[in-house]
Amino acid sequence: MSVRISLDPAELQLDVIHGYLARSYWAEGIPRDTVARALAHSLCIGAYRDEAQIGFARLVTDRATFAYLADVFVLEDHRGQGIARAMLEALDRHSELQGLRRWALFTRDMHPLYALLGWEAYPHPDRLMVRDTPDIYSR
């Protein structure tokens, strides 16, 4: 069974995306309306087997200088088939994302996948600052 990669926002399946993110380590408990707002204001990509969404990633970007990669996942039963890599490569080839000065992401456990695609640890951690509220969805 082949996998289809699509950037069409009309194909995104909010129930699937929210269902995964709400139990993920990085967005546990995220409200459905917050996910819907995030999708509406991001460049999103989905992976589909037949009509079922099995993977997702979103990019927050100005499409000129910077992109933040977020919420990358492949459903458990479909992992190990190169689906995440296919989505990330499709984003990398996207015509509106050529010439970006910087891409960024946060990950706890997928460093090897991203390293295969040219990602590396930020070389100037002394320049990086964040405002982090990890428990925001449990308040």
**Domains defined for the chain, CATH in brackets:** 4-138 (3.40.630.30)
Cα Rg of the chain (Å, integer):
15
Taking the C-alpha atoms of residue 106 and residue 109, their distance in angstroms, rounded to an integer, is: 10
Lowest mean pLDDT among 8-17, 54-63, 76-85, 108-117: 108-117
Q: If you average pLDDT over residues 37-53, what whole number do you get?
A: 97
CA 47 and chain centroid, separation:
12
Taking only the tens place, the pLDDT of each residue in 56-88 is 999 999 999 999 999 999 999 999 999 999 999
Neighbouring CB atoms inside 10 A of 123's CB total 6
* pTM for the full predicted model: 0.92
CB 70 within 8 A of CB 105: yes
Position 27 scores a pLDDT of 95
Q: What is the mean pLDDT of the chain?
A: 95
Q: Pull the structure tokens for residue 100.
A: 């970006």
Per-residue pLDDT at 40 exceeds 80: yes
